Amino acid sequence: MDRTELLRSLARFGLNDREAQLYLALLQLGPSTAPEAAREAGSDRVIAYRTLDALRARGTVTVTAERPRRYVPILPRALFDEHLESKRSAVVEDEKLATALTALLPTLGERGDGDAPRFQVLPGAPGIYPLLREMVKRARASLAVMITHGGMRRSIEYGIPDEFPRFLRAGGRFRMIVESDPRIRLTLQGFSRSSRRYPALEIRQLFPQSARVTIVDDREVLIFPVPNGQARGVQEVAIWTDNPDFIRSQSLYFDGMWERAGPATWRAPRPGPGKRSKGPPRFTVR
């Protein structure tokens, strides 16, 4: 790693270019006076004094009791750990604030009586799956899902299954139709145990099945016009709406497919002799 890249890396841990130059100088020289550190860092002496005192105030360097006083850098690991801990604390505070704001601010799923139905087009996974997770989090009575193997993988990546236990423990009914695909069977193995713990969790399989739709409490629906999100040259797109008529039509379609679907097969095929089974992550409700 060259010096320019090293300075850029240290900036990620709260040191600007001048501070990083002086910190590196102290690491190379050991306990040093400000003029010594300034010469090593190629910095103006007056500026070096100010910068070192600022680093001292933040705890990045300490000073000795001798005269002239010498500046001593804290160990790099201590510098990194301190910065990381402050970032973790900031994330915790942000999560608390996000929770408070979520309860305070109106959401897409909260349409007042008499308001016009709304539609929203969501292009790309970063816009789709966080909203889908919020939809699942808002669910109270029922979740109806038709999903493909690709959609299931993306849902796992965005932590959507983490929202299922609360919903199921509260007595919500969860119905999911998956495609008949060996990769789905491997992914769904965790549901074999979960379905015994949560009787309201029902999984069925259908072939062929390429639709992707999520209906929450008959109040809002998310559909994918391009089911697998992998059509060449086509970006993954979803449409959200709280239009009652549209939701009703999707619910009727789901109920029809539910009647046609068969029981889910949990056990995945065993690998041949000497082969390890490599598959997608388990889709488990704990």
Regarding whether 248 and 155 lie in a shared domain, the answer is: yes
Regarding whether 187 and 64 lie in a shared domain, the answer is: no
Regarding whether 250 and 190 lie in a shared domain, the answer is: yes
Q: How far apart are CA 95 and CA 137, in angstroms?
A: 15
Is 281 part of any domain? no
Is 223 part of any domain? yes
* Cα dihedral sign, 100-238-125-263: positive
Q: How far apart are CA 36 and CA 247, in angstroms?
A: 73
The per-residue pLDDT for 176 is: 92
Number of domains comprising the chain: 2
Is 28 part of any domain? yes
The per-residue pLDDT for 197 is: 75
The per-residue pLDDT for 220 is: 95
The per-residue pLDDT for 282 is: 43
CATH number of the domain bearing residue 70: 1.10.10.10
The per-residue pLDDT for 51 is: 94
Is 53 part of any domain? yes
Is 98 part of any domain? no
| Full domain range(s) for residue 47 | 3-77
The per-residue pLDDT for 107 is: 57
Longest Cα–Cα distance in the chain: 87
CA torsion 36→37→43→46, rounded to 10°? Answer: -70
CA distances from 154 to 34, 128, 148, 227, 265 (A): 54, 10, 10, 13, 21
* Cα dihedral sign, 176-230-189-269: positive
Spans of the chain, pLDDT less than 70: 106-115, 184-196, 226-234, 265-286
The per-residue pLDDT for 115 is: 65
